[in-house]
Amino acid sequence: MATATLELQGIEKSFGRNHVLRGIDLSLPAGCVTVLMGANGAGKSTLVKVICGHHQPDGGRMRLAGRDFRPRSASEALASGVVTVHQSIDDGVIPDLDVASNLMLDRFTGRGARLWVRDRALRRMAAEVAGAMGITVDMGARVAELPLAERQMIAIARAMARAPRVLILDEPTSALSAAEAERLFALVERLKGQGVAILYISHRMSDIRRIADRIVTMRDGAVSGLFESQPLDIEGAVTAMLGHRMTEVDIEARSGAAPVLELEGLVVRPGAQPIGLTARDGEVLAVTGLLGSGKSALAEILFGLRRPVAGRALLDGRPHAPQSVRAALARGVFMVPRDRAANAVVPDFDIADNMTLPFLRAFSRAGFLLARRQRAAAARKIDELGIVCQSPGDPILTLSGGNQQKVMIARWLLRPCRLLLLDEPFQGVDIGARRDIGRHIRATAAGRATIVFVAEIDEALEVADRIIVMHEGAVVGTHVNGRVDLGRLVAQISGEGVA
């Protein structure tokens, strides 16, 4: 194994009585990708924040390139060559600035930077950085107005431009297409060749198989496993992460009752083939496909965020063409959005307020909030979904990303609906939490139709009665769970199995 660029010995961290990190020993060898796996709440995020200077450890020591390393701030860690791309994309970009300014900001805010920089020179240098990542967006575009995947690529490109010694990537492919992810993997391979130590945090089996040189697992604030022998024992790593063996999910496919949603010749974008589809009461459908396949566009049409090009949808036999989100909600159509940070979580609210936000009228009387009733409803969902927290009054940002996601899903399960849409509900969620969410979605499915939009095949297999494949805006395959031809399914997703 190569020399360790970064070494952690006995790292401890507590927040009040909550002992989050318990004697963490970790080494990141030069020119090596170390994948870090851990269930939500295992301490991964806190560990990353200690490494990059956001938190100070209570005990232990860190060494970078053989010297003591104790950054007092994120900027101090950056100056030492420790660069992090956080799971929350807007931590890596400044949404109100344009693309060029985001890519070059660090270069022009450091020591020795010039006071005045010509716009043309700025954009030319930014274009060189973007070109290395295969980014082709307008350098003058405002980052806040870009799609999620492009913001993610800009955050990653900005990190690459810092010439890191240690690069930490936290769920970097969660918003990327297969082609964009492959560009990222090629850059990671290039950085490995340059001797950069890489810590890659992911729960995606496809990522781990593609990129890992070694795997470190965490459980309950401690390192629970180290896997370095080739081929890597991924099943053993999952067992070490969860504390028990990963058993096969046994879905008994349900056909559902009466139709809830019917699509008749629906065209989601110009040039796409019309879609015909029925979702029934009590049935869970998974719609899968690559980024750009049209699955998110379909979700947005059903939720009133965009209009179809042609065709129509029926909800309980009546035309469903909502002109707004309010109109969709009035028909009993609820949606968990894909971008949790931008579209769902209210940072200044606690868990109960975040969870009950769309339904405050149900917890109010004469204009006054019935706090006890609100807290009791939130506590029930906390228990049902296994949300790791102290109480419903905890600030939402004290939760791990996966537990925040559980809160957002609980929000839309608080009240009955006729159609539940979940766009990438497992994004940033570990395998154990993913199965908690999937079980609860299925257990509460009666009385509504549920459509889960996912990019990962294993996520579809763990939650759905039927799996619908989309490619270039059209439905190209339908599979009943338990009788799935995986080879055919994969071919349809990639477009190879499309006539």
Measured over the CA atoms of residue 65, residue 69, residue 74 and residue 79, the dihedral's sign is negative
pLDDT for residue 340: 62
Name beta bridge partners: 264.
312
The one-letter amino acid code at 354 reads: N
Name the domain boundary from 242, 267, 282: 242
Residue keyed to tokens 């990639």:
494
Residue 416 within any structural domain of the chain? yes
Other C-beta atoms closer than 10 Å to the C-beta of 254 total: 16
Verify cis geometry, omega within 30 degrees of 0, for the bond prior to 425.
no
Domain that includes residue 290, residue range: 259-494
- Residue 291: name the closest of 417, 180, 125, 420 by CA: 180
Name the domain boundary from 186, 214, 242: 242
Other C-beta atoms closer than 10 Å to the C-beta of 433 total: 25
d(CA 279, CA 419): 9
Residue-wise burial string across 17-35, b where 16 or more C-beta atoms lie within 10 A, e elsewhere: eeebbbebebbbbbbbbbb
Q: What is the dihedral of CA 399, 405, 409, 412, to 10 degrees?
A: 80
Name the domain boundary from 210, 242, 274: 242
Please list, in sequence order, all residues whose beta carbon lies within 8 angstroms of the beta carbon of residue 14, skipping any fewer than 6 positions away. Answer: 20, 21, 58
Which backbone phi and psi does 16 adopt, to 5 degrees?
Answer: 65, -125
Please list, in sequence order, all residues whose beta carbon lies within 8 angstroms of the beta carbon of residue 328, skipping any fewer than 6 positions away. Answer: 302, 303, 304, 322, 335
DSSP conformational letter for 231: S
Residue 312 within any structural domain of the chain? yes
Residue 451 within any structural domain of the chain? yes
What CATH number does the domain containing 443 carry? 3.40.50.300
Residue 499 within any structural domain of the chain? no
Q: Are 160 and 128 in contact (CB under 8 A)?
A: no
Residue 250 within any structural domain of the chain? no
Q: Are 374 and 352 in contact (CB under 8 A)?
A: yes
d(CA 230, CA 379): 45
- Looking at the fold, whether 151 and 268 belong to one and the same domain comes out as no
Domains contained in the chain, number? 2
- Looking at the fold, whether 407 and 451 belong to one and the same domain comes out as yes
d(CA 375, CA 36): 35
Q: Where are the alpha helices (DSSP H) in 303-363?
A: 325-330, 340-343, 351-356
Residue 251 within any structural domain of the chain? no
- What are the strands of the beta sheet with 275-280, ordered from one edge? 275-280, 259-267, 310-315, 318-319
The one-letter amino acid code at 426 reads: F
pTM for this prediction: 0.62
d(CA 223, CA 42): 9
pLDDT 10s digit of each residue in the chain, 499 long? 568 899 999 999 998 877 889 999 999 999 999 999 887 678 888 999 999 999 999 999 999 999 999 999 988 998 899 988 876 655 667 777 888 887 877 665 555 444 455 677 778 888 877 777 677 788 888 888 887 777 777 887 777 777 789 999 888 876 676 777 887 888 888 889 889 999 999 877 778 888 999 999 998 899 999 999 888 888 788 788 877 654 445 678 888 789 999 999 999 999 999 999 999 999 999 999 877 789 989 999 999 999 999 999 999 999 999 999 999 999 999 998 876 665 678 888 999 999 998 888 888 888 888 889 999 999 999 998 888 888 999 999 888 777 888 898 899 988 899 999 999 888 767 777 788 888 889 999 999 999 999 887 778 888 999 999 998 899 999 999 888 887 788 778 867 656 5
- Looking at the fold, whether 199 and 326 belong to one and the same domain comes out as no
Other C-beta atoms closer than 10 Å to the C-beta of 112 total: 4
Residue 254 within any structural domain of the chain? no
- Looking at the fold, whether 143 and 201 belong to one and the same domain comes out as yes
- Looking at the fold, whether 236 and 359 belong to one and the same domain comes out as no
d(CA 265, CA 59): 62
